[in-house]
Chain A
Amino acid sequence: MWIKSGLVPLLVSYVIALVLMVMPIPALFEPWRPDWVALVVLYWLIAIPHRVGFGTVLIIGLLTDILMGTTFGIYATALVVMAYPAIRHFQRIRNYSLTQQLLVVGVLILIKRVLVYQLEHLLNDAVFNWPYLYPVLSSAVIWPWVFLILRRYRRRHLIR
């Protein structure tokens, strides 16, 4: 039986993250929109690393590229690079307190966004502006809630 338990809820969580990423919100909050896709992917990488790996991350990254209209592979590369430390050290990160996890998540998302900027700069001559890094803060701040909500979600829907 190749459909493992909780496949549908897992996919639903990805779709929700993608929807949140492109949902129109008031212009005031726009620069502070948390990096939902990165947060959700990080949670699953830490929670069920035997199931969610580079393949999933790559596909989510390519879907992000399509939704954002960027050159194919920019978000995919950034997400894969961000995923590596998470998969490598998932057992350690799991045992951190939420505050420590928050810092780790902040650093990982910083890496991801800096990489996206570098690639955009190389390929499309993007110019750096500070508001691009605001989501690092907002994502780190919101991580404990994302973690707790997704943990409850995982337990309720038996995603193992």
Chain B
Amino acid sequence: MKSLFEHGPSLRTRLLLALTVAGSLMFLDHRLQTMQPVRSFLSTAIAPVQYLAVLPEEVMDRLVYLATTRSALREDNQQLRDELLELQMAVQRLNFLENENARLRQLLDSEVRAASRRMVAEVVAVATDPFSHQVVINKGYANGVYEGQPVLDNRGIVGQIMSVGRSTARVLLISDQSHGISLRAERNDIRVIAQGVGDLNRLELSFIPHSTKLQEGDVLVSSGLGEVFPEGYPVAQIASIDRDERLQYARVVAVPFAQLDRIRTLLLLWPADATETPVFDDEVSDVD
């Protein structure tokens, strides 16, 4: 404790000063959108904090891995082999169908769909603010990641990249309140827009008339409109339809396929027409 009496400017002046600084930064960022370079630099600078945050989990994983017995590993290996065999057979069939589809499309003079490129990324941090559903992944512009890039997991679409640092990038999840995605019902091609509501296990479809032909259990896939997400990836399944006539539109709730509350490994997608290209770290995957 130095002195009972204050030196320098009064407390209220300092409060006003601090609020002015914070307020002008808010204005610069939100209204003028001039803070992107600063944001990019600072998120690179603060990346160690995010790596520290996942460290305990990684150590735990490591310990669990070291503690697995030989027989468990052998069993696991056998199971994976079986799975691989099954998938390879499925891929053979898929290759044939893809070629046939391309040939038929050529016959009809429509554009042949080109293949997209993929990269695996790990989640290194989650933003826990319920007003912004985001995760941070361990790939950045050094790997060719760009803003607006689609992000998937093994079940369906997870979200899109919203800002990129050098070795990290931020993914906006489809459940975020500011995120909407254009979808299509797989059964009857009805186009809908699914809006995030800030709940990881819920999307709401907006502007659905009461007379809609949608049913509970319908699978919704991405429609390819909006030019962010490629066409045909599964996104959500309709859980309930509330046709309350007092409301202007039917309330339709869908549940995302991707388990947004427990994502660990994600897939970055470069559509065929993207100008950026993936840059792979030539690292051996760390399974020693």
Binding site for B on A (CB under 8 A): 15, 18-24, 27, 30-31, 33, 50, 53-55, 57-58, 61-63, 66-74, 76-77, 80-81, 84, 87-88, 116-117, 119-120, 123-127, 129, 131-132
Contacts and interface: CB of A to CB of B under 8 A. Distances in A.
Contact of A124 (B3, B22, B178, B197): B178
28 contacts: A15-B49, A18-B46, A20-B53, A22-B50, A22-B126, A24-B125, A27-B261, A53-B14, A55-B18, A62-B25, A68-B129, A68-B132, A68-B134, A69-B134, A69-B170, A71-B30, A72-B30, A72-B35, A76-B22, A76-B25, A80-B19, A80-B22, A84-B11, A88-B11, A120-B131, A124-B131, A129-B198, A132-B131
Contact of B52 (A19, A24, A50): A19
Contact of A69 (B35, B49, B162, B197): B162
Contacts of B30: 71-72, 123
Given A22-B127, A73-B23, A123-B30, A67 B49 contact: yes
Contact of B26 (A31, A57, A74): A74
B178 A66 contact: no
Interface string B175-195: 001100000000000000000
Contact of B29 (A73, A77, A88, A129): A73
A71 B11 CA distance: 26
Nearest to A62: B25
A85 to B, nearest CB: 10
Nearest to A24: B126
Contacts of A84: 11, 15
Contacts of B56: 23
Contacts of B43: 66
Contact of B22 (A73, A87, A127): A73
Given A126-B131, A129-B198, A57 B46 contact: no
Nearest to B264: A24
Interface residues of B, number: 52
A58 B22 contact: yes
A63 B41 CA distance: 12
Interface of B: 1-3, 11, 14-15, 17-19, 21-26, 28-30, 35, 38-39, 42-43, 46, 49-50, 52-54, 56-57, 123, 125-132, 134, 162-163, 170, 177-178, 197-200, 261-262
A54 B49 contact: no
A63 B46 contact: yes
A44 B277 CA distance: 48
Given A27-B261, A54-B14, A69-B132, A61 B22 contact: yes
A50 B4 CA distance: 10
Of the listed residues A53, A55, A61, A66, the one surrounded by the most CB atoms of chain B closer than 10 A to its CB is: A66
B36 to A, nearest CB: 10
Contacts of A120: 131-132
Contacts of B2: 50
Given A23-B53, A24-B53, A127-B198, A54 B26 contact: no
Given A23-B56, A125-B177, 5 more contacts: A71-B29, A72-B38, A81-B19, A88-B11, A124-B178
A72 B128 CA distance: 17
